[in-house]
């Protein structure tokens, strides 16, 4: 990316940060992916109980390695020794965590955080439970408004995640949602029963937060995740 395009991206980031902060969401810019780990470490304390939502960004930035190797009690949903019951137990323990780390599917310049989940252990913990929620989000996920956020999930995030998870849904074969457009009556959801193995079960918009500073967003100046 040349300097002129980067300057435009920085202006978009600045607008988004101002809007997030008006919604009681702490936000800051992190220049590169390699700067994420020290920034996250500065937000955690030794001995903290930490958990994560499903996120490729956390792997790409080294956050998962930080949590596994740091002085934390890590409720590791990716532990290969866990069976289904063990993973479910981790999801429940996540609600008592001191810190919950995840990414988001989109950020709007209006100051909204937009997430779409299947089982929704991620969005549930983001909504309530952990003392702080730290989101690491690529600046590629910033969009002008909520409709753009919805379309971003339909066009990019959901097809990529469904392909990664080998769900066999429509979007894994076509590369886009079967209802790729939005209208006023069907803004987010698919027609009832249209996608049997959908990973897009619940749609959550985080706006004005009642607990100031609980949710923190680190916007990273690189392409990360989906």
Q: Is 210 exposed, middle or buried (0-12, 13-18, 19+ CB in 10 A)?
A: exposed
- 23-77 tens-digit pLDDT: 999 999 999 999 999 999 999 999 999 999 999 999 999 999 999 998 999 999 9
User: Does residue 197 sit within a domain?
Assistant: no
Q: Is 220 helix (H, G, I), strand (E, B) or coil?
A: strand
At residue 78, the pLDDT reads 95
160 domain-assigned: no
Whether 214 shows a pLDDT value over 90: the answer reads: yes
Q: Specify the CATH number for the domain of residue 98.
A: 3.40.50
In a domain, 124, yes or no: no
152 lies in some domain: no
In a domain, 75, yes or no: yes
Query: What is the structure's pLDDT at 2?
Result: 87
How high is the pLDDT of residue 191?
76
113, burial (CB in 10 Å: exposed 0-12, middle 13-18, buried 19+): buried
- Provide the domain limits for residue 33: 3-108+129-142+207-220
136 pairs with which residues across the strands?
218
pLDDT value of position 183: 74
pLDDT tier at 133 (50, 70, 90 boundaries)? very high
Tell me whether residue 211 is in a domain.
Answer: yes
Q: For residue 147, is it within any domain? A: no
Tell me, yes or no, whether 118 lies in a domain: no
Domains held by the chain: number: 1
- Residues 62-118: tens digit of each pLDDT: 999 999 998 999 999 999 999 999 999 999 999 999 999 999 999 999 999 999 999
Give me the pLDDT at residue 182, please: 75
Nearest to 131 by CA among 104, 103, 95: 95
pLDDT in tens, 147-201: 999 999 999 999 999 999 999 999 999 998 988 777 777 777 677 778 888 999 9
Q: How far is CA 139 from CA 56, 151, 197, 220, in A?
A: 15, 16, 30, 6
């Amino acid at each position: 990316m040349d300097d002129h395009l980067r300057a435009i991206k920085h202006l978009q980031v600045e607008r988004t940060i101002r809007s997030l902060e008006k919604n009681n969401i702490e936000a800051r810019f992190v220049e590169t992916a390699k700067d994420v780990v020290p920034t996250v470490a500065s937000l955690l304390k030794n001995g903290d109980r930490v958990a994560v939502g499903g996120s490729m960004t956390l792997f790409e930035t080294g956050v998962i390695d930080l949590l596994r190797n740091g002085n934390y009690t890590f409720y590791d949903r990716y532990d290969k020794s866990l069976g289904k019951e063990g993973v479910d137990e981790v999801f429940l323990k996540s609600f008592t965590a001191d810190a919950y780390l995840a990414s988001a599917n989109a950020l709007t310049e209006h100051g909204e955080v937009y997430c779409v989940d299947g089982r929704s252990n991620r969005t549930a913990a983001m909504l309530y439970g952990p003392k702080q929620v730290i989101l690491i989000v690529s600046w590629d996920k910033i969009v002008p408004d909520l409709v753009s956020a919805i379309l971003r999930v339909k066009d990019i995030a959901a097809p990529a995640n469904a392909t990664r998870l080998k769900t066999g849904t429509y979007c894994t074969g076509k590369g886009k949602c079967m209802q790729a457009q939005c209208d006023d009556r069907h803004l987010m959801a698919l027609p009832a029963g249209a996608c049997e193995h959908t990973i897009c079960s619940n749609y959550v918009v985080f706006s004005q937060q009642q607990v100031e500073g609980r949710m923190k967003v680190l916007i990273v100046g690189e392409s990360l995740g989906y």
